[in-house]
Every structure is written in structure tokens, then in C-alpha cells.
Structure 1
Amino acid sequence: MPISNSSAACLISAFLFLSLTQTHEKVINSDGMGQYSFADMKIDCGKECTRRCQQSSRQNVCLRACGTCCARCNCVPPGTSGNADVCPCYSNMTTHGGRKKCP
């Protein structure tokens, strides 16, 4: 049974509308390459914080702070330090003393 032109147009319009209304964000994975995913997807904080803290001299402290920051921001910058511009929420968190919280 063939689909009429108006039915096909309606399906295409509905698909385009749904595609445009989906919220996307850019996620940076451990190799530094970006990929697009849905904003409500959670990253694996344990894996990303282990990667981020691998060169830290105080790994337990680093992992604890990173885990808190990752859970709140759902983002961990690529690399083992720096790259704060990728995750503004992560880089703007501070301790009660005003120091940067996230490694």
C-alpha cells in the first residue's frame, strides 16, 4: 500500500520537528574528541575522574573532589589538568575558603 504525498510530508515534518527540539550538548570523552549526545545522559564519573586524577600526587583527594564536581556538573575536562573552558560549571566551583574545588 503506497503512502500518499501528504502522509509522507506529514511524517517528514514531524521527524524534523522532533529532531530540532532535542537538546544536545557537546561531551568531551577521554581521548579529547568531541561527540554529541543527549543532555540528560550521564557520563561515567568514576572512569573520567580516574583518568583526570591519574597523575595526581594525592589521588584519593583528587578523586573525591572530582567525583563531587562531576556529579554536579556532568562534565570532566579532557586531560589531567587545565582545559577548564570545556566545563565552565566544573571550573567555577569553589571551596568554602574560595579555592578551586575541582582538580
Structure 2
Amino acid sequence: MKPVLAILLLVSMFLSVSFLQFTMAESTTGDAPTPSFCDSKCGVRCANAGVKDRCLRYCGVCCQQCNCVPSGTYGNKSECPCYRDKLNSKGNPKCP
């Protein structure tokens, strides 16, 4: 009887820790933008892009890091200096 009780206790502890990790992974931190904020802003920003999936990917990365996306489909980068100043490894602008 004692081994069965010990196994049940271990299984319940494992399940509760797994649930706690899942719950913590879902929560957002402080001022970080929500994915829906970035998705909607980047959708507008990349509406006329030639390679839309690449534009959305890089715009999403920049949005998460900078907490902003310039308005319009091109230009206006002065609205968000962090977004404007991000460079890739070749020294070109990273954010669309």
C-alpha cells in the first residue's frame, strides 16, 4: 500500500509542476507587447511587401524588442527610434 501511495504522490507532484510551468509560459511580462498587438501592427506595415512572410517575421521580432511599429506601409521610422536603429549583421536595417 505504501509504494502505491508514494507513486501517486510523485505523479501528482509532477503534474502540478508541469501545469505551473505551462501557466507561467503563457503569461506576458510587464510592458512587453502582446502577440496580437504586434500581429495587427505588422499586418498593416507589411500589407504591400513583396515577400510578406519575411516582412512579418522581421517586423514581429522588432516589435517584440522595441514595443512599437511605425505607422504606414513604408517610412515613418522616426516614430520608433529603436525600430529604426536595429541593424542586421551586414549593417543594413533589420526592421521593414
Same fold by TM-score, threshold 0.5 exceeded? yes
Give structure 1 stretches of 5+ with no counterpart: 1-38
Q: Does 1:42 align with 2:33?
A: yes
- Name the structure where strand makes up a greater proportion of residues: 1
Q: Match of 1:78?
A: 71
Larger Rg: 2
Structure 2 residue runs without a partner (length 5+): 1-29
User: Identity, % of aligned pairs?
Assistant: 45
Q: CA RMSD in A?
A: 1.5
Q: TM-score, normalised by structure 1?
A: 0.60
> Could you give the per-residue CA deviations for residues 66-103 of structure 1, whole angstroms, max 9, x where no partner exists?
00000000000000010011000000000011110000
Query: Size of the alignment, in residue pairs?
Result: 65
Provide runs of 4+ in structure 1 moved above 4 Å.
none
Q: TM-score, normalised by structure 2?
A: 0.64
Which structure is higher in helix share? 2
